[in-house]
Amino acid sequence: MWLYLVALVGLYHLVRWHRERQVVSHLRDKYVFITGSGSGFGNLLARQLDMRGLRVLAACRTEKAAEQLRAQTSDRLETVTLDIAKTESITAATQWVKERVGDRGLWGLVNNAGISGPWGRNEWLTKQDFVTTLNVNLLGTIEVTLSLLPLVRKARGRVVNVSSIGGRLSVMGGGYCISKYGVEAFSDSLRRELAHFGVKVAVIEPGSFKTNMTNTERLFQHVQEVWDRARPEIKEVYGEKFLASYFTAISKNRLTTYKENLSEVTDCMEHALTACHPRTRYSAGWDAKLFYLPMSYMPTFLADAILTWGLPRPAKAL
């Protein structure tokens, strides 16, 4: 009995391995639009796909970042400046993409642009702090997708949304994890709706990687800013000692370490764009696969105990 079970599991993985190795044809004729190409995952993916021969349309937040990317890539790659928090910027970029892809349509849309903060303890934040993050990470992603969807549908292409392990398990306060939960939900509904048109939707769920978003100094700055703006009674409840311990917890990053090999994430993105049979979800990084993802299925009390272990207590905690 056990032998048959092992054989069945082995056969499943063999068939899956074979299917995932099949690559889409005529990649050099396909256009891929990537948001957030100025740095981090988006920047590396743009260079990676350019080397693969695809026609990359890279959206950067600033012209300076766009110039740097063009200097590192071939003449096939084109850039456009885009602020996904602004409708007029998305409208202009959409028209720019239409002019380039023409009747071919857009094979790949990679929603990669995002921000990490403002963040800190929820009680320290204002509604506007949450709105700032949601406008970029969630609403910006939705608006870019809706604007370019007709072109993706024409090519029967791919939508690749970059979420996070924070979209499975809320590991911090503020709008970041909320926005990534939203990206997961949007991707799920979009996947089912677009299946009728031959469009595939994939979600990338990176673990902890070293990018501009995870820069410790920037995280400190986010926390200090929201703390400085917090109401006096909130500061009294938590205390200055708590803030100092909170900074220490961030710097030590007791649950995981930030990995520098960003290709673990971009390889997942590339597979989602180029494989005949892409996965629905890609967990990138050992911490995502072996720690955060399994923990998201644990009993709540156990996950809470792990996530709060070693964290400081507020001055007036019970």
SS3 content of the chain, % helix, strand, coil (to 5): 60, 10, 30
Find out whether 223 and 245 touch, Cβ atoms under 8 Å: no
Query: Rounded CA gap, 55 and 118, in Å?
Result: 35
Query: Rounded CA gap, 43 and 274, in Å?
Result: 18
Secondary structure class of 283 (helix, strand, coil): strand
Find out whether 118 and 129 touch, Cβ atoms under 8 Å: yes
Q: Is 292 among the residues known to form the active site?
A: no
Secondary structure class of 269 (helix, strand, coil): helix
Catalytic residue among 4, 31, 176, 181: 176
Angle between helix axes 240-252 and 216-229 (nearest 10 degrees) is 160
Annotated catalytic residues are 176
